[in-house]
Each structure stands twice: as structure tokens, then as C-alpha cells.
Amino acid sequence: MSNERKQRMGQDSTLDITAAWQLAPGVTYLNHGSFGPTPIPVLEARERWQRELAANPMDFFVRRLNGLLEDAAGELAKFVNAPRDNLVFVPNATVAMNVVAANLPLKAGDEVLLNDHEYGAVIRIWGQACQAVGAKTVLARLPYPMTSPSEVVDAIFDKVTDRTRLLVVSHVTSPTAIILPIQAICDRARELKLPVCVDGPHAPAMVPVDLKSLDCDYYTASCHKWLSAPLGTGFLYVRSRHKQGLRPTVLSWGRSLDGKNPSWKDEFHWPGTFDPTGALAVPAAIQFLKDYGLARFREETHALARYAREQMLERLQAKPITPDDASWYGSMVAVELPLPDDATPPGPPHPLQQWLWENHRIEIPVVRWREKTLLRVSAHLYTTRGQIDLLVEAVADWLNRKAAT
């Protein structure tokens, strides 16, 4: 896709931005929040890097890679307003969270505080890290439905004790798609001198991320979600005082191949022979959204999420879980379906999720959470109101069939 065409798509509202994606024919894709499909300009940027790498891998890895990764990480650091030297590429937020867990010095009796809206894998990571040394995780139960930021902050900090060594909290929750009051949470933690690790895979691009303002200790994120960078791209932000001695979960040489002065990033940016082209294409993803307009992207995708929320509340008798405000949800929204007796376990795909795919080719997660059934809709620039209408009609049909049995 030419630069001219990319610019025209961003500037001319009469052109179809969905042309930037090549989604499978007949599929209604409403799960960008889990696995975001990569737009064509970003795929093309990665392919250019792949061709350069293939032309002379020795030159690429030994002489050029360290500087290329530094430049790409620098662009990403500017995007999230972080010091350039405090951010490294990792494959995804899960890897980043494992790094934090592997490096945090815990001992018997210590506590790591999370909450019941956290991603299941994150709870598991910290559960195993604590179990290994005799520490424990503590799970704050947040209000449901949520009505005010202060009650969320209070619910979290009511669980802080003198044994709490780290607070782990999502910027945007995964099962419930809620934007938490992360600045207020970080500010309160700083007053208590309590370290904070923010789990932020859904935040970059969906909402402004300002790491200098948050001033958290760690921030983990994936770039393949709302930023629409290639799959396998994420980052770990580390406050300066934690960088010394920080180690990845996979060790290689511990140095770059170009002989430059050692850096804490060397442990992460040279894990052995790998494909770095996804990370090198992250600046192209940033530029893609900037060309379209970040504010415009956020406004349009939130409007679609709000339309989905309205339709699900009206036509499915679903229940809201937050106030109707952009401060609570952005490009992704979840509602509670009227299934109070749903005994489906939280692990396997929900029968509704399977039915939507098998009968309507709709890709969307149906989440079992707190013994409730949540339908989570993701909206990106290729999403249409017609697709949301199709979803609501299909779910209504399934609910009617279930009620008749």
C-alpha cells in the first residue's frame, strides 16, 4: 500500500478505512481486544524489514540490529511518554509480567495485591511466584457494577497491609473491559511508597498512556491489540531504580553483538537468533494511527462501542457494569447477559461463543466471570454498525432458543 494511499485513507473520510485490513470473507471480527489483526501498511513495513534481514542476516544482526531496536523502542517510548532508556521490547504483556515476577524479591509472609478484574494469566503468574517462596496473593474485590472511581481506589487500598510488597493492577481490564482510575491508583500507592506494576495490554492507542505522569514501577503491554502492531510485539517499562540486574526469563549472552557499551536492554534485545521485524514495524503502526488521527480513532471506536452497549442493553436486556462514559470504557465494552443460572465453567469456550462462530461466523469472546456471563465487544476502524446489529440479532436468537428449551 503506497504512502499516498495511506495518507488519503487518513485524511479523506469518504474513503473506506476498512481497506487497510484483509479480513477473511464472511467473518465478523469483534475480538480485536484479544488478537488484533494487523493493517496492510504495517504488514508491508514488517515485510520490508524481513527482506532486509534475509538479504544479509550477519550484517543485520551483528552491525545494525542494536541501533534499529533502539530507534524503534525510542519511537514507542515517545508514544507512551516514557524515558527512552526505560523501555524494552518483549513478545507480549504476559512475557513482561513474568519478567517482573521473576525479578521481584519476595519472601515468606509477603503479599502481592491484585483484584478480581485481573487477567487470569496474571493472577496465575503471581500465584506461582508467591507459592514458590511462601508468600501469597491477595485479591481485592472491586464494586460491581462500578459507579465511581473513588470506590474502586478504596476497594483496592483497603487490602493493603504492612506485608504488601507490590500492587498489580490493570489499566484496562480484560474480562470486563473497564478503564480503571489508574492515575489515582498510582498516586495513592506513591503516597504509601508501595511499588506498582500496571498491566496495560489494552491501553496503548485505546487511551492516552503517559508513563511519566503515572510514575509506576513497571508497565507491561502488548502492541498487537489496539495499536495494531504485528503479533508478538510488546514492551516492558521499568522505573530507573529497578533496571540494574533485571533479567529476562530466557538468558542468552547478556550483551549486544555490535560491541557497543553495555546496557540493561542487552539482556532483552538479544535473546539469541530471533525475528525482530515485528518490533521494528511498531513505529509503522504508530504512524498508521497518527495518519488517521489518534483522537479521531478513539472517538469513532468509542462511538461504536457505545452503540453496541446501547443495542445490547435494549434488545438483549443485558445489564451495564459501568456508567455510560468514555472515562469508563473506550474501544471495548462488556455487558452482563441475562443468564443468571449459567453453569458453564470459566475455562472452555462458552456455548454461545461456539454457536456464534459455527452459525454466524462471528468472532467474539463470551466471558464467565464471577459466575456471570459477559459479552465483550471490541471495535476498531474496520468495525461497522451493521456488524454490531448482526451480533445482537444472533445473540437474541440464541437467548430465545435457550429460553424455549
CA–CA distance, 223 with 213 (Å, rounded to integer): 20
Question: What's residue 169's pLDDT?
Answer: 98
Residue 145, pLDDT > 50, answer yes
The CB-side HSE value for 112 (13 A sphere, CA atoms) comes to: 28
CA–CA distance, 16 with 301 (Å, rounded to integer): 15
Band (259; pLDDT cuts 50, 70, 90):
confident
* C-alpha pair distances (Å), 250 with each of 19, 102, 246, 258: 39, 11, 12, 20
CA–CA distance, 119 with 92 (Å, rounded to integer): 14
Residue 15, pLDDT > 90, answer no
Whether the Cβ atoms of residue 333 and residue 308 lie closer than 8 Å to each other: yes
Helix (H) or strand (E) segment spanning residue 122: helix 120-133
Which of these ranges, 32-46, 155-169, 251-265, 274-288, has the smallest mean pLDDT? 251-265
Q: With CA atoms as reference, report the closest residue to 196 among 233, 224, 171.
A: 171
Give the chain's domains with CATH numbers.
3-30+293-404 (3.90.1150.10), 46-288 (3.40.640.10)
CA–CA distance, 105 with 94 (Å, rounded to integer): 19
| Phi, psi of 44, rounded to the nearest 5 degrees | -65, -35
Category of 295 on φ-ψ map: left (φ > 0), alpha (ψ -120 to 50) or beta: alpha
- Give 157-176 pLDDT, tens digit per residue: 999 999 999 999 999 999 99
Residue type at 293 in one-letter notation: G
Question: What's residue 184's pLDDT?
Answer: 98
> DSSP strand E in 203-243: where?
218-222, 234-238
